[in-house]
Every structure is written in structure tokens, then in C-alpha cells.
Amino acid sequence: MKFRLVAGFLVLGMAAAGCGGAKVDNNPTTAAPKADAGSASSAGTVKIAINPWVGYSASANVVAYLLKNELHYNVEMPELKEQVSWEGFESGTVDVVIENWGHDDLKKKYIDEKKVAVSAGSTGNKGIIGWYVPQWMADKYPDITDWKNLNKYADMFKTSESGDKGQLLDGDPSYVTNDAALVKNLKLNYKVVTGGSEAALLKSATQAQEQQKALLFYFWTPHWFFNKVKLARVKLPDYTAGCDTDPKKVACDYAELDLDKIVSKKFADTGGKAYELVKNFNWTNEDQNAVADDITNNGLSAEQAAKKWVEANTAKWQAWIPK
């Protein structure tokens, strides 16, 4: 995810958009489809990278379920960080990144220069990264949601990891964020601390709201968590086109992103109906959150959650199936 969650922020089981405590079964072996009795051999194999946040897993598993059960492909789903996923376009180990959070640098390298990848269009999801505090803090300290006042409250956010500065908690270390530059360029008395995962972010945010603990953290939408825990976003300087071009000089909020799908050039050229399905895949933040919530909080495996959504939304996904 770019910045994230890009941002770049982040389960109670979760994992980010896997999500930690929830079991997401993306093992390439178990992900392969069960052959229909009397059916011909598989139509081929599609390799979908799984990046470490549950929203991504939700999208990937719905597409994988349809590839397997409607178009009869095998599907491999290796768990990879974002950078490694893009490297897979060149090595041939990845066909699809189902949810890309910006990554203009990687697009330039792998699409424009190396020409081993192409965009397969929007997922329909709108991605927004930002800084948040638990709602209780915004209720008690109404001006805390303006970045200009953060230094006034820095002492409240101190931790053993941040020392004499306030802590800004980030998620998985592979997430690309502007947070360190923002802290420096906005002259904030804070230190970015990496929590390690989406799950760590969710656990910290849940405890912060329930136990009225101070917490400033990086997070993103779409995410099911907003339906469970009340959060308040901190207003950073307004985003304007180009304000984040130089990573070292960023002093503005994150951009709203139209999340897109990236595929290998080879897959786009030879993937047939599998590529067409990936290209046609388009749903809402609410759709993704429903599947992610089932994975994280309702005891379903990623494949079971995908199956549940598919069975309840026939009209929507049938439009994605190649004619």
C-alpha cells in the first residue's frame, strides 16, 4: 500500500488495506481449486501476490475464488511485501497485484522503464491515508485534531520507544509512508515508531479507545475498523497536486487515491479470460470491508469469506466474468 498503510496505517484479529490474529489461508497449495468431477484440466495458473493488510486479502480472495470456481484456473497466492511483489513482474513469479496504493516510483520503474507491468484499471476502492487519534481524545481535547496543536500535546504521547518525544505509531515496516518527512518538515516534536503490522495498529487503537490511552497513529480507509471503533482524523496541511513529489520535502496531507490493479505485461498479453476478470474486477469500499470483517472478526477463512460475498452478490460479479 503506498504510504500505507501509504500509508503507508494498519487487527483485532487483523492484519492493513492481512490482519493479524485472524487466519488468512493463502497457502498456494490449499488455494488451488478442487477439480470438478469429470472436468478437463485447469485453464492455467494465476499468481496473485498477497500484500500484508486484510483489505488487500479480501480483494485478492474474491478474485481468486471466481478464477477457480467460475473460470477453472489454479491460483497461487504467495505472501509478499509490496516492493517484492513488483519485482515478481520481472522475474515471472507474480501475475497480479490486486490493490496498488500509488507507488509512482514503482510504476515508473516497472511500467515505463522496464515495461514488464501494466495497469489493469481501478479496483473501485478509494484509498485515504492519514493520522488518527481515538475519539475520546478529540472529545476531551477538541483542538488536538489540528496538526498545529500537536506539539502542545506531545508529552501525552511519549513512550519508551519514542523517548523524550511524542510517539507517532506506524504499521508494517514495508508500508511506504511520508510520516518521517512530515514530522521533520512540520517541526513536530514526535518520533515515528513502527508497530510492525496492521494487527499491532488495531490492537493499539482498540486499547487506546477502550482504556482512554493517548495514541497518535497512521491508518487508512477502506478499513472495517471504522465500523467498530471511533477514531478522529488529524487535519494536516491540505494536499495539493505535486506537494508530495519530493519525499524529503513533503509537508502536506496524503492524497486520496483511486486504487488500481497492476499486472505483468505477459499476463496482460496472454492471460486470456483470467486477465479479463482481473481487469473487470471493480467494487466498493463497503464490499471490501464486509469481506475483511468476516476474515478478521467472524471466524471465516479468507476463502470462506470470499465465497460468502460471492454468493450474496451474484449480479455484481457476473458482470466481471468474460463473455
* Amino acid symbol at 323: K
**Residues in CB range of 23: below 8 A, 6 or more apart:** 301
How long is the chain? 323
CA distances (Å), origin 287, targets 113, 127, 280, 315, 317? 34, 14, 15, 13, 11
pLDDT at 2 > cutoff 70: no
State how beta strands 74-76 and 45-47 pair: parallel
Give 32: exposed, middle or buried? Use CB within 10 Å, 0-12, 13-18, 19+. middle
Q: Is a pLDDT exceeding 80 seen at residue 135?
A: yes
Residue 5: pLDDT above 80? no
DSSP state of 124: E
Average pLDDT of the chain is 89
Per-residue pLDDT at 112 exceeds 60: yes
In the DSSP assignment, the letter for residue 113 is: I
Among 32-36, 122-126, 132-136, the range scoring the smallest mean pLDDT is 32-36
Answer yes or no: is pLDDT of 22 > 50.
no
Is the pLDDT score of 131 beyond 80? yes
Please say whether the beta carbons of 232 and 132 come within 8 A. yes
Q: What is residue 146's DSSP assignment?
A: B
pLDDT of residue 43: 85
Q: How far apart are CA 20 and CA 26, in angstroms?
A: 14
**138-165: per-residue pLDDT in tens?**
999 999 999 999 999 999 999 999 999 9
Q: Is the peptide bond before 28 cis (omega within 30 degrees of 0)?
A: no
Q: Is the pLDDT of residue 228 over 60?
A: yes
Beta strand ranges found along the chain (DSSP E): 45-47, 74-76, 96-100, 117-134, 166-170, 190-194, 217-221, 231-234, 257-264
pLDDT confidence band for 31 (50 / 70 / 90): very low
Question: Cell for 136?
Answer: 475520546
How far apart CA 72 and CA 269 sit, in angstroms, is 19
pLDDT single digits (tens) 251-284: 999 999 999 999 999 999 999 999 999 999 999 9
pLDDT of residue 10: 34
Pairing of strands 231-234, 45-47: unpaired
In this predicted structure, what is the pLDDT of residue 41? 52
